[in-house]
Amino acid sequence: MSSLVEISCVVNGTPTRLAVPPQTSALALLRDHLGLSGTKYGCGEGECGACTILVDGVSVNSCLMFAVDFDGRTITTIEGLAVDRASDPLRQAFVDKGGVQCGFCTPGMVVQSRHVLDKHPHAGPEEVKRGLEGNLCRCTGYKKIVEAVVTAAAAQSAAE
Amino acid sequence: MNAPQHASLIGQRIPKMDAPEKVAGKTRYIQDLNLPGQLYGLILRTERVHARIVSIDTSAAKALPGVRAVLTAADVPIHPIGVNKDNPPLKGDKVRCERDEVAAVAADSLEIAQAALKLITVEYEDLPPLFDPRDSIKPGAPVIHEAKPDNVAMAFDYAHGDVEQGEADSDVVVEDEFTLHRVTHCCMGVSGVIADFEPVSGNLTLYSNTQVPFLHKREFAEVLGMDPSRIRIIQPPIGGGFGSKLDIYPFEPIAVYLARATRRPVKLIFTREEEFIASPTRQPAIIRLRSGAKRDGTLTFRTVDVLLDNGGYTSWGATIPFVMMQTFSSLYRVPHCRYHTKAVYTNNPFAGSFRGYGNLQATFAIEQQMDKLADALGMDAYQFRLKNAQEAGEITGQGMHFKTCGFKDCLETAAGRSGFAEKRKALGAAKGLTGIRRGVGMASMLHVGGGAKIYPSDGCGTILKLDDFGHVTIMTGASEIGQGSETVLAQLVCEELGVPMSAVTVVNNDTDITPWDVGVHASRTTFIAGNSAIGAARKAKDKILAAASTVSNMRAEELDLKGGNIVRAADGEKVMPLAKMLRQLHFSDKAELVMTTNYYEPPSVHQDKGFKGDVSAAYAWATQVVEVEVDTDTGIVRLLKVWAAHDVGRVLNEMGIEGQIEGGIIMGQGYALCEDMPVVDGHLVNPAFRDYKLITAPEIPEMDIQFIETMDGEGPQGAKGVGEAPSICMAAAVANAIENATGVRITSLPFTPERVYSALKGKLQ
Ligand code: FES
Ligand code: FES
């Protein structure tokens, strides 16, 4: 089979050296090799957002990215956001506002919301809706997710 | 000192108990579970939709290193599954639709399993296919299942009154044909299963996403020829259900066959493409409906003829006539009703159960005709509905007894808050076929809200245990599928035992531990499992208060449980901590643990052969009004606002119930406007989210949600089931709104820009 490619990257704050097969997707690397199963497979085609991660602070569908392209990058997954204190108001808002039902879309939603709030710290409902356009949720009807993110934006601004 | 005030938990906004874990990405779904030594299973599906299997050559696949088993029908017992027992998990003689499973592989890795599938060759001999259910019932049509030479999988007939009399009594009569399309659940978590035989005992553990673990267990035992008590079903958290996991599907026994053949655990997970192709859909339908009314606005009769495209096999989709029939017979008072449905085989994909269970289809037809009848009579569409709406106390022609009924309140509330009557008049007067037009539409629904007595029992069991520290464990048969049942059950128990939510654990996912439940369907869990849990909690409370009465020298009736304490009922004054009492019971001479069990069976009855009987312990009602904007140049319909009024009996968890209703409304919006599964020559055209359009965040309407609390006497704390209700009205309401905006009534779904544009230009056939 194909030879492995050596890469080094920072995953959730930890410098990591890895040898990965060139065809492996970033999603498979995270889930199957690094045990970071919080990042979900929903479609594998960049259409649902369940696999959203942050690469150098920008949200990416990890199912569309090759693992080798992690080389030299800083990767944050939902597990990484969970240790990052700044994201707590966001996760808490998802809980408090009812933005979670089956929860399968939730990690991707939270990571994408983090990205939206990083770009627009004072985001209102319309900005949030546009920012979450690429993330599908079959359960909630989005309303409570949008409320959660807007609430987190307000909480964040108040804390500044 | 003032005794502390203990606010009731009922009606509060309680976050879901499993949410903190879910937002942290820590929840392990079936995809995230791996067992030591596990193999990867994959299924080879047919390329043909109706063909005889001449031969299958698996030799090259078997020879591939890392392949542990390759199975075909020849290797397994023939035991068909499904509602008609017409679907063998692996097909040996012929294939009947795109989904058909012809071989299965278990291998050391997914890559090897994929490579092995490519090495299997199948020789087919094509048979004449059927794609239109109308062709399936023509004389001389090809036969899809030899056991059903007329291609009729199921037929239903129902009647009350005398429709000929109804016709004679009518001043106006309308008749239409409605065509309902195929959509699918799109659970964000794809289907999957892990089958694991214990090497020594031979017991089977299935990690399964089923919504009906106890029925599943029985069916698995039959299919596998096993003793049911040797099968344990563990349900990891489920990434969405909506009815999709109500039946057993071929991939599940196949995973077990592979595990049995290899003596290793086998994990079989769908891709999204496979999920689209091979999981159940909503039932497509062609409905011919004829209704009449008198000049004074009284409904006179309905005759209904429904043709269902049953696809290649029979799952729950074929049984939606049960629910459709209730809407036709009993949503409004209609003295005469005749109803006939046939589900007929074709070589298309087959339908399963899907939130609403036929009611979206029936409501689409009825509520459009309610508008048409009102217009024909020159009556206000709202007043016409109000005149014929059911009321509490009514027993319908089908035998449903509405002990509580908030229908008129729903109508008044939704109409009042939206300004429906005035808007419909004003927008209707301005209707037209140019530019951008607005319209409002209304639809209402009736659905079971207190379970449905379909199986021998519609019950649910609870085991409740309190530990030495006042912590409560609720073991319930009822499954959590994201709808929040776990949280509601905990709330109901906390309310009885006066403990905080943090003092409760719910165990709901292991058939070796939890008592029997018929499953998550028919919007029944809050009602049935809730009553069961309340009963168990009351038994525990009685036991605790009896013991407390001995130590406190007060009568049990003078005591209560509040705030984690035993208190004086009259003023809430603390008598002793609950935990202390539990320890005294445990460690005293009595040596007792507080553990109780309860089984709740609702006071509903089975329908008779004519489908009559009070099948649910309560009935849910709703009215939804929508406002839309139609761009007549493009056919684009935008949903601006939804006013929803739901008779929910009583709100238990306000945030949870809002979440159910919002999610259901948006699911209904997708059904109405954009979701579609075109099947051409038996093949699904769009098995990907790129082409199967779900509603996204920017497209959601404003939502005004109102609860009508009718305090159902049998409901837990007065509540009724609501899970399915919110998606039911949407398509009908949107259809009525488009008509209000443009004057064009469209009787087929979905209202995509192409369809609406063609209809507005008069080009829709
Ligand atoms: S799994 Fe990556 S976008 Fe769907
Ligand atoms: S919560 Fe289930 S998909 Fe979003």
Tokens read off for B170? 């009518």
Task: Tell me which residue of B76, B141, B728 sits closest to B410, measured CA to CA.
Answer: B728
B585 and B638 belong to one structural domain: no
Is the pLDDT confidence value at B614 over 70?
A: yes
Q: Which atom of ligand 1 is nearest to the CA of A52?
A: 2
Give the per-residue pLDDT at B68: 98
Ligand 1 proximity of A28 Cβ (cutoff 6 Å): no
Could you tell me if A76 and A9 lie in one domain?
yes
Q: Is the pLDDT of residue B505 over 60?
A: yes
How many domains are contained in chain B?
3
Asked if the model's pLDDT at residue B455 lies above 50, the reply is yes
Task: Say whether both B545 and B653 belong to one domain.
Answer: no
B468 falls within a domain: yes
Decide: B82 and B160 in contact? Cβ < 8 Å.
no
Identify whether the C-beta of residue B522 lies closer than 8 Å to the C-beta of residue B698: no
- Distance CA(A76)–CA(A83), nearest Å, equals 10
Q: B155: part of which helix (H) or strand (E)? A: strand B152-160
Chain B residues whose beta carbon lies within 8 Å of the beta carbon of residue A36: 25
pLDDT reported for residue B3: 46
| Per-residue model confidence (pLDDT) at position A88 | 83
CB contact under 8 A, B19 and A128: no
Residue in the block written with tokens 């609430």: A151
Both tokens of residue B623? 């009215």
What is the rounded CA–CA span in Å between residue B219 and residue B213? 10
Query: Considering B543, B567, B600, which residue would you say is the last residue of a domain?
Result: B600
B478-494: per-residue pLDDT in tens?
A: 988 777 889 999 999 99
Residue B161 lies in a domain: no
CATH number of the domain where residue A43 is located? 3.10.20.30
State residue A85's pLDDT score.
58
Q: Are residues B666 and B704 in the same domain?
A: yes
- Check: CB of residue A31 under 8 Å from CB of residue A78: no
**Do B484 and A101 count as a contact with CB atoms less than 8 A apart?**
yes
Residue keyed to tokens 């060759």: B121
Sequence-ordered list of residues with C-beta below 8 angstroms from that of B161, at least 6 positions apart, any chain: B301, B334, B335, B336, B337, B397
| Residues A100, A153 within the same domain | yes
Answer yes or no: do B650 and B703 share one domain: yes
Segment A114-123 mean pLDDT = 95
Question: Ligand 1 pocket, A108 CB below 6 A?
Answer: no
Residue A152 Cα to ligand 1 midpoint, Å, equals 25
pLDDT level of residue B759 (50, 70, 90 thresholds): very high
C-beta separation of B174 from B372 below 8 A: yes
A64 and A132: one domain?
no
Report the SS3 class of residue B753.
Answer: helix
| Strands of the B121-126 sheet, one edge to the other | B94-95, B51-57, B121-126
Expressed in angstroms and rounded, the spacing between residue B240 Cα and the centre of ligand 2 is 7
Residue A91: other Cβ atoms inside 10 A: 27
pLDDT confidence of B764, banded at 50, 70, 90?
low
Instruction: Reduce the secondary structure of B390-458 to three states and give it as a string.
Output: CCCCCECCCCCECCCCCHHHHHHHHHHHHCHHHHHHHHHHCCCCCCEEEEEEEEEEEEECCCCCCCCCC
Closest residue on chain A to B238 (Cα): A102
Which residue range is the domain that position A33 belongs to? 5-81
By most ligand atoms within 8 Å of CB, the mutation choice from A47, A106, A111, A113 for ligand 2 is: A106
**What is the CATH number for A154?**
1.10.150.120
A96 inside 8 A of chain B by CB = yes
A79 close to B (CB below 8 A): yes
| Structural contact between residues B456 and A76, judged by C-beta atoms closer than 8 angstroms | no
Instruction: Count the Cβ atoms, other than its own, within 10 Å of residue B520.
Output: 26
Q: Which residues from B are below 8 Å from A23, CB to CB? A: none
Residue B309, pLDDT score: 98
Q: Which of B29, B271, B663 sits opposite A104 (nearest CB)?
A: B29
What whole-number distance in Å separates Cα of residue B672 and Cα of residue B624? 14
E strands within B467-524?
472-476, 504-507
Mean pLDDT throughout B164-189?
98
Which of A81, A101, A116 is the endpoint of a domain? A81
Q: What is the pLDDT of residues B333-342, one digit of tens each?
A: 999 999 999 9
The CA distance from B10 to B717, in Å, is: 8
Q: A95–B20: do the CB atoms touch at under 8 Å?
A: yes
For residue B29, the chain A residues in CB contact (below 8 A) are 40, 104
CA A47 to ligand 1: nearest atom: 3
Contacts of B476 (CB under 8 A, 6+ apart): B460, B461, B462, B463, B489, B506, B507, B508, B514, B515, B517, B529, B532, B533
Residue to mutate among A2, A91, A101, A133, with most B CBs inside 10 A, is A101
Predicted local distance difference test score (pLDDT) of residue B590? 78
pLDDT at site B7: 80
Residue (of B522, B537, B540, B557) closest to B491 by Cα position: B537
- Cross-strand partners of B720: none
> Are B158 and B610 contacting, i.e. CB atoms less than 8 angstroms apart?
yes
Higher pLDDT: B764 or A36? It is A36
User: Does residue A76 share a domain with residue A15?
Assistant: yes
Q: Are residues A15 and A27 in the same domain?
A: yes
User: pLDDT at residue B240 above 60?
Assistant: yes
**Same domain (yes/no): A9, A77:** yes
> Is residue B171 in a domain?
no
Ligand at minimal distance from the CA of A53 is: 1
Looking at the fold, whether A77 and A91 belong to one and the same domain comes out as no
Looking up residue B733, the CATH number of its domain turns out to be: 3.30.365.10
User: Where are the strands (E) in chain A, listed by range?
Assistant: 5-11, 14-20, 52-55, 58-61, 74-76
What number is the average pLDDT over the span B728-750? 98
**pLDDT above 90 as % of chain B:** 95
Decide which of A56, A81, A106 is a domain's last residue: A81
Asked if A146 and A129 touch (Cβ cutoff 8 Å), the reply is yes
Q: Are B703 and B409 in contact (CB under 8 A)?
A: no
- Within 8 A of A35 by CB-CB distance, chain B residues are none
List CB contacts of B109: < 8 A, sequence separation 6 or more: B40, B66
* Distance separating alpha carbons of residues B437 and B615, to the nearest angstrom: 43
Is the CB of residue A104 below 6 angstroms from any atom belonging to ligand 2? Answer: yes
| Option in A102, A105, A141 nearest B662 (CB) | A141
- Whether residues A36 and A63 fall in one domain: yes
Tens digits of per-residue pLDDT, B106-152? Answer: 999 999 999 999 999 999 999 999 999 999 999 999 999 999 999 99
Which ligand minimizes its atom distance to the CA of B484? 2
At A87 the pLDDT is 57
Q: State how far the Cα of B259 lies from the Cα of B552, in Å rounded to an integer.
A: 59
Q: Mean pLDDT across the stretch B2-20? A: 83
Question: Binning pLDDT at 50, 70 and 90, where does residue B763 land?
Answer: low
In a domain, B155, yes or no: no
How much is the ipTM here?
A: 0.97
Q: Are residues B93 and B199 in the same domain?
A: yes
Q: What is the pLDDT at residue B642? A: 98
- Residue B680 inside a domain? The answer is yes
pLDDT of amino acid A2: 60
Calculate the alpha carbon distances from B551 to B538, B559, B594 in Å: 20, 12, 16
- Mean pLDDT for the stretch of residues B368-373: 98
pTM of the model: 0.97
The phi, psi pair for B544, rounded to 5°, reads -65, -45
Q: Which pLDDT value is given to residue B213?
A: 93
| Pairing status of strand B595-600 against strand B619-631 | unpaired
Say whether both A71 and A114 belong to one domain: no
Q: Return the closest-CA partner of residue B737 out of B362, B412, B440.
A: B440
Same domain flag for B446 and B466: no
Q: Which domain holds residue B396?
A: 356-452+610-764
* Mean pLDDT for the stretch of residues A9-30: 96
A69 touches chain B (CB under 8 A): no
The pLDDT value recorded for residue B96 is 98
Task: Please give the share of chain B, as a percent, with pLDDT higher than 70.
Answer: 99
- Closest residue of B to A49, CA-based? B188
Taking 70 as the threshold, does the pLDDT of residue A84 lie above it? no
pLDDT tens across B269-322, in order? Answer: 999 999 999 999 999 999 999 999 999 999 999 999 999 999 999 999 999 999
Q: How far apart are the CA of A135 and the centre of ligand 1, in A?
A: 9
**Average pLDDT across chain B, whole number:** 96
Instruction: Name the residue with higher pLDDT: B518 or B269.
Output: B269
d(CA B630, CA B178): 21
Does residue B194 share a domain with residue B55? yes
Pairing between β-strand B67-71 and β-strand B101-107 as defined by DSSP bridges: antiparallel
Distance CA B47, CA B51 (A): 10
Pocket-testing residue among A25, A29, A30, A48, ligand 1, by greatest number of atoms within 8 A of Cβ: A48
Q: Are residues B371 and B255 in the same domain?
A: no
Closest among A46, A94, A133 to B700, alpha carbons compared: A133
A20 and A58 in a single domain? The answer is yes
pLDDT exceeds 80 at position B1: no
Checking if the pLDDT of B74 tops 80, the result is yes
Same domain membership, residue A14 and residue A62: yes
Q: How far apart are CA A110 and CA B67, in angstroms?
A: 39
Q: How does DSSP assign B74-126, residue by residue?
A: GGS----BTTTT-B-SS-SSEE-STT-EEEEEEESSHHHHHHHHHT-EEEEEE
Q: In this complex, which of A38, A135, A139 lies closest to B663 when CB atoms are compared?
A: A139
CA distances from B614 to B601, B605, B619 (A): 14, 6, 10
Q: Has residue B414 got a pLDDT over 60? A: yes
- Model confidence at B603, in pLDDT bands (50, 70, 90)? very high
Cα-to-chain-centroid distance, residue A101: 18
Residues B630 and B574 in one domain: no
B572 CB near ligand 2 (under 6 Å): no
A75 touching chain B per CB within 8 A? no
The pLDDT, as a whole number, for residue B2 is 45
The last residue of one of the domains, among A81, A103, A121, is A81
CATH of the domain at B76: 3.90.1170.50
Could you give the number of structural domains in chain A? 2
The per-residue pLDDT for B435 is 96
What pLDDT does A156 receive?
85
Structure tokens at B647: 């008779």
pLDDT of residue A158: 83
Q: Is B98 a domain residue? A: yes
Same domain (yes/no): B522, B439: no
Contacting residues for B377 by C-beta, under 8 A, at least 6 apart:
B171, B172, B293, B295, B297, B384
Same domain, A89 and A137: yes
Percentage of the residues of chain A whose pLDDT score is greater than 90: 89
| A32: DSSP letter | I
Question: Could you tell me where the beta strands, DSSP code E, fall in A14-102?
Answer: 14-20, 52-55, 58-61, 74-76
Residue B542: helix, strand or coil by DSSP?
helix
B327 domain-assigned: no
